[in-house]
Amino acid sequence: MFKVKFADIGEGLTEGKVAEVLVKLGQEIKEGDALFFVETDKVNSEIPAPVGGKIANILISQGQEIKVGDVVIEIDDGKGVAEVTPVAEIKTKNEPVEENASVVGSTPVSNDVIASRATASTKNEISNSGVKATPLARKVAADKKIDLSTIKGTGPHGRILVSDLDSTPVVSSNSATKPAASKTVEIDAPLSWDSIPMNGIRKATVKAMVKSHSENAAFTGMKNINITPTYEMRAMLKDGCESKGIKLTYLAFIVKAAAKVLEEMPNINVRIDTENNAILQVHNINIGIAVDTEKGLMVPVIKGANHLTIFEIANKIGELAKKARDGKLAMTEMKDATFTVSNFGSVGLDYATPIINSPESAILGVGTMTKTPVFVKDEIKAGWIMPFSMTCDHRIIDGGDAGRFLMKVENYLSNPALLLM
């Protein structure tokens, strides 16, 4: 009997919510088949079966909150005697289970069945029949009076998840009776506001930022870098890359430069072990890239960036950024970063004080590139300047090391041919 546990599939992840159970009792499955769909603070994902066999026990139901380490499903993999024993209904801790949603040990009810059994809606009610959504999302939508046809689902095949509803304002039950807003503005009116629930990504951001500020002794160093040679090389390579389907961005050059400098300065690619009073120099160079999405900031990770070419990095940036914005990142694509690059220049900022993504110890921020006069061998020429901001944990990284890091990055961006070697 193989006991499937909810594994630690993301840094800092401790729990998730079962959006849908995808198997039934007694079902024959193969290794890799999807068992259930889980929503977490970081991403939403199908959880695959680690072994093949017959589903012998289902210990979860739609809407249930599960923690890392919980046994969720038992599979008879032929390596022991197993009895198929239905488990009693497990009630959700925080969320109500939809009336027609399956209980553990029962056959799951499809969305079509749920829709066809729904009671006829009145004139003032919203009908969500015919829309792909998990049973729990359908229940929450009914409670909030949300029209699911207006929601873009981020689950498999466009299915709507509970997390897709998090930022949708609740419709008050007496909203239909409220009078139309007066055209006269009352200057001395009492404070009023709309309450917008935080989505999972925002909740995770709050937790991570508070942790970073409370644990790190952060400082930020800033430097303007003349990247004119990189500008010229990108212009020379851009058309050829596009013909091969590669979108060559400046960020690809910056990530490659950072990866090479981290190889040369392993004292930046570190974590702190406070329990043992030790500094951990990480062997891997995995660079996270902060991506601004409609639901909040997400940080997918380019694994082994030091072993990739600029063109491979450019492809990876495009692929991961699209997945982040579409809500389709796998949990493995968001873990194990050792250093982060944040391009806040894409939203118009020149300088900022980026916050360290714990347990990393440094983050490199990139500002808006500006065309400006620069000196080249005592002559003034038009050039391109890009501002960099580097935040480090001063407990284990000194200001001198941060300065040397930025100078080395400058050397590579001033001589980009070195990045192609």
Catalytic residues: 394
**b/e 205-243 (16+ beta carbons within 10 angstroms → b):** beebeeebeeebebebbbbbbbbbbbbebbeebeeebee
Give the chain's length: 421
CA atoms within 13 A on the CB side of 70: 15
Query: What one-letter code names the amino acid at 267?
Result: N
The H or E element spanning position 242 is helix 228-243
Decide: 37 and 155 in contact? Cβ < 8 Å. Answer: yes
**405: Cβ–Cβ under 8 A, 6 or more apart, which residues?**
261, 265, 268, 362, 390
CA-nearest of 11, 57, 10 to 38 is 10
CA-nearest of 408, 412, 396, 366 to 268 is 396
**56: Cβ–Cβ under 8 A, 6 or more apart, which residues?**
1, 25, 74, 75, 76, 82, 83, 84, 85
Coil/strand/helix, residue 372: strand
DSSP string, 113-139: HHHHHSPPP-TTSPP-TT--B-HHHHH
Read off the tokens for 288: 């996270």
State the Rg of the chain over Cα. 26
